[in-house]
Amino acid sequence: MDAWLASNSPRRYALIQPLFPDLHHAGLDGVDETPPLGTVGEQVSTICHRKADAVPDTTHSLVIVADTMLSDPDEHSLSMGKPRDLAHAATMLLRLSGRLHQVWSATAVRWNGVWHRWCESAVVSIPELTADQMDALLTSNSWVGKAGGYDLAGPMGEHARLVEGDESTVLGIAGGAMEFLEVLASTV
C-alpha cells in the first residue's frame, strides 16, 4: 500500500511502519502548531486539523497526520507541548514527577480521499523521580521533540506506567486510529 506518514516523529514511524513496510515518512512544512484557545483535546484536535489541511495533493492512497500534547497536571485546560531546551525539559519533568497526567493524541487518516479523525486521551503515572533519574532522563536527550519532555517507549518507560487508555495514544497515534490502521493493513 502506498502510505505516507506526514510526521517527522520517529516514535510514530516505529508504530506505523510494521503495518506498512514501504511507508513514506516525511513531515509537513509551515504548519502553525500554536495551541488555540480551548481544552487540551480541542487544541490537539485543531492542530491535527491544520496538519490535515496542509497535506498537498498526493498520489498516496493513505496519509496519516497526528499531534500529541499533555495536560498540565495542575491546570488541565493548559497544554504542555515540546520543550524548547534542556531547562524547559527539566521544568516539565519536575512538574510531572510524582503525579498523574493526561496525554492527548489527535490523528487524521486519509484513506482513498476521505479523512477519518480521532482525538483520544490516556493517563500516565510518573513516580517521584530522584535527582539521578532526572539527570539520566535529561542527559539521554530522549526529551527532544517529545510532548511533555519524555518518551514512554524510551528511558522514561523504566519509570512511568500507563494507567488508562492506549499506549499508542501516549506514543503519538490515537488508539482508535491505530486500530483502524491495523484493520486496514490486514485487509489490503
Q: What pLDDT, on the 0 to 100 scale, is given for residue 180?
A: 98
Integer Cα distance of 12 and 39 in angstroms? 24
Integer Cα distance of 74 and 65 in angstroms? 29
pTM: 0.92
Integer Cα distance of 34 and 46 in angstroms? 10
Q: What pLDDT, on the 0 to 100 scale, is given for residue 73?
A: 93
Integer Cα distance of 103 and 106 in angstroms? 10
Distances (CA, A) of 176 to 89, 150, 158, 161, 187: 29, 23, 26, 20, 17
Integer Cα distance of 80 and 70 in angstroms? 5
Residues 6+ apart with CB under 8 A from 151: 11, 142, 143, 157, 171
Distances (CA, A) of 115 to 24, 87, 157, 188: 18, 38, 32, 18
Secondary structure, 3-state, 18-86: CCCCCCEECCCCCCCCCCCCCCHHHHHHHHHHHHHHHCCCCCCCEEEEEEEEEECCCCCCCEECCCCCH
**Per-residue confidence in pLDDT tens, the chain, 188 aa:** 899 999 999 999 999 999 999 999 999 999 999 888 999 999 999 999 999 999 999 999 999 999 999 999 988 888 998 899 999 999 999 999 999 999 999 999 999 899 999 999 999 999 999 999 999 999 999 999 898 999 999 999 999 999 999 999 999 999 999 999 999 999 97
Q: What pLDDT, on the 0 to 100 scale, is given for residue 115?
A: 97
